[in-house]
Chains A and B, each alone.
Chain A
Amino acid sequence: MAGRNLLLVGTRKGLFLLDGDEARGRWHVRGPLCDGWPIHDAIVDPGSGAVFAAGGSNWYGPAVWRSDDLGETWSHSSEGLTYGDDGPKVTTVWNVTAGLDGLYAGVEEAGLFKSTDGGATWRHVEGLTSHPTRPEWQPGNGGLCLHSIVPHPTDPRRLWVGISSVGAFETADGGLTWETRNKGVRAEYMPERYPEFGQCVHKIVMAADGGQRLYQQNHCGVYRSLDGGRQWQEITGELPSDFGFPMTAHPRDPLTAWTIPLNGADRGRTMPDGRAAVWRTHDGGDSWIRSGEGLPQEHAHLTVLREAMATDRRDPVGVYFGTSTGQLYGSVDEGRSWSLVVDNLPGIWSVKTAALD
């Protein structure tokens, strides 16, 4: 292990950057950045080294911010981030993801945009919102938002997205056409338990197996797919709840992933019994291990939202999660034990990492 570590924490009131030492034990907090705008997601683009932060101001609308000096100075743009004057309004940007051939942004009202000039201008990926199911898309509690963007690791034409209460889609032709990817995923709030679409996907992540294995935390269960989402298998197993928001996968071991069960959609959406825990699997979801070591084990009615858990790429892997009440926890032993990184931030919406070698 060598080099500095960076945590990017998007909150209801600005972006925070945490500079960590090599041991990942001390963190220097900078923020709020992006003028205090609500920030749903932030990344370091591995190609350019730029920081991108996605969000939207209640006054000034949606934008993707860019910093080329790790957060010291910023610009922003929403040029092209629109469905046109006759279309629905874009209220905020939920996700920004670096693809193999450009930058992607997922927005509310749900749609996908792409930039090939480093976020200066954006182009609507119309194929997705031209899908024949589009007239029947309905918003969930979080709105009609496109929140998961999963590029294939080597094929720029392949991409998966997740839309709340609509489900997962895949394109294999660079966004021109899309197919639903929801087989095997339950939708308990629909008259048909396994519909083609309408599933409330909360997070989709890719395992490190070359592009076929996916994990999904859904409103109704935890799932894996071994064939790029064509078929999902439920792996909720002995988890204490089938409800949760975030999920993250190991950067090298395709069988290891983490999730944070919450007590249920209609039971408060907080950690079960007020005991904080992260659950991990080392066998692709066949079994789960609870870890609450270092986390509060009483009166901890915490919520962790969909984008608010991430791994780094160090060895052993660091795992981090942020709560909707502003606590950020980290683990430097792959989720076996935890410690508080920082408290009293605004409500946390996203956590991402970057290695500054």
Chain B
Amino acid sequence: MAEVHLPRSLVALFPGVPRRLEAGGSTVAEVIADLDAQVPGIRNRIVDAGPVIRPHINVFVAGQRASLETPVEPGAVVHVIPAVSGGRR
């Protein structure tokens, strides 16, 4: 299982969901799929058609920028972080 850290603005869309969750999978795509099983709809907020990670969302695995195909080792820390570029004036 990976330890997934979610941003405030994302968990705010799903009342009651904590900032830190455990999710299984050997890639980022699989971890997000498991997250979606726990929190229906959360994948649509992180992943766009393609599928690709949304352009203003960054996912880090063990501190390194990741894509959906990036491997996730058991016990890895996965951060989902809104990019600075996504803000609106």
In the assembled complex, which residues on chain A have CB atoms less than 8 Å from the CB atom of B83? 59
In contact, A87 and B49 (Cβ under 8 angstroms): yes
Known: A58-B88, A60-B45, A61-B45. A85 touches B51 (CB 8 A): yes
Which of chain A's residues 51-68 have a Cβ closer than 8 Å to chain B? 57-61, 63
From A61, A73, A76, A86, give the contact of B48 (CB < 8 A). Answer: A61
Interface flags, B1-36, vs A, CB<8A=1, else 0: 000000001101101000000000000000000000
Asked if residues A89 and B48 are in contact (CB atoms below 8 Å), the reply is yes
Which residues from A are CB-within-8-Å of B15?
73
**Interface flag for B56 (CB, 8 Å):** yes
Task: Report whether B54 and A59 are in contact in the complex, using a CB–CB cutoff of 8 Å.
Answer: yes
Interface of A is mostly: loop
A126 to chain B, nearest CB (A): 15
Docked Cα-Cα span, A59 to B54, in Å, equals 7
Q: Quick one: given A61-B54, A79-B41, A79-B44, are A35 and B13 in contact (CB under 8 Å)?
A: yes
Are the CB atoms of B86 and A35 closer together than 8 Å? no
Q: CA of A38 to CA of B10 in the docked complex: distance in angstroms?
A: 15
Q: Is the CB of B54 within 8 A of A60?
A: yes
Q: Could you say which residues of chain B place their CB within 8 Å of the CB of A73?
A: 15
Which A1-44 residues have C-beta < 8 A from chain B?
A: 12-13, 35, 38
Q: Which residue of A lies closest to B46 (CB)?
A: A60
- Chain B residue numbers with a CB within 8 Å of A88 are 49
Which residues of B, 51-83, contact A by the 8 Å Cβ criterion?
51, 54, 56-57, 82-83
Contact, CB under 8 Å: B10 / A60: yes
B55 to chain A, nearest CB (A): 9
| Contact among B41, B49, B50, B82 for A59, CB-based, below 8 A | B82
Residues of chain B within 8 A of A38, CB atoms compared: 88
Q: How far in angstroms is the closest Cβ of chain A from B79?
A: 14
Q: Is A291 engaged at the interface, CB distance under 8 Å to the other chain?
A: no
By a CB distance below 8 angstroms, the chain B residues around A57 are: 86
Tell whether, in the assembled complex, residue A83 and residue B49 are in contact, meaning their CB atoms are under 8 Å apart.
yes
Does A98 lie at the interface of the complex (its beta carbon under 8 Å from any beta carbon of B)?
A: no
Contact, CB under 8 Å: A84 / B49: yes
Q: Closest A-chain residue to B7, C-beta based?
A: A59
Complex contacts, A59 vs chain B, CB 8 Å: 9, 54, 56-57, 82-83, 86
In the complex, residue of chain B having the shortest beta-carbon distance to the beta carbon of A346: B88
With an 8 A cutoff between CB atoms, is A78 at the interface? Answer: yes
Beta-carbon contact of B13 and A82 below 8 Å: no
- Whether A85 pairs with B49 at a CB distance below 8 angstroms is yes
In chain A, residues 80-112, which have Cβ atoms closer than 8 Å to a Cβ of chain B?
81-90
Quote the shortest CB–CB distance from B84 to chain A (angstroms): 11
Are A58 and B9 in touch, CB under 8 angstroms?
no
CA distance A90 to B44 in the complex (A): 11
Cβ A90 vs Cβ B86 within 8 A = no
Least distance between A122 CB and chain B CB atoms (Å): 11
CB–CB B12/A77 < 8 A: no
Q: Let me know if B49 and A89 touch, CB within 8 A.
A: yes
Give Cα distance in the complex from A38 to B86, angstroms: 12
* A81–B45 CA distance with the chains assembled, in angstroms: 12
Q: Which residues of A are interface residues toward B (Cβ below 8 A)?
A: 12-13, 35, 38, 57-61, 63, 73, 76-79, 81-90
Query: 6 closest pairs, A vs B, by CB?
Result: A59-B86, A60-B45, A58-B86, A59-B82, A59-B56, A78-B44
Can you offer 17 A-B residue contacts whose CB atoms are under 8 A?
A: A58-B56, A59-B54, A59-B57, A59-B83, A60-B9, A60-B45, A60-B54, A63-B44, A76-B41, A77-B41, A78-B41, A81-B44, A82-B49, A84-B49, A85-B51, A89-B48, A90-B49
Instruction: Identify 19 new A-B residue pairs, CB closer than 8 A, beyond the known A60-B45, A61-B44, A61-B48.
Output: A35-B12, A58-B56, A58-B86, A58-B87, A58-B88, A59-B54, A59-B57, A59-B83, A59-B86, A60-B9, A60-B54, A61-B45, A73-B15, A76-B41, A78-B41, A84-B49, A86-B49, A87-B49, A89-B49
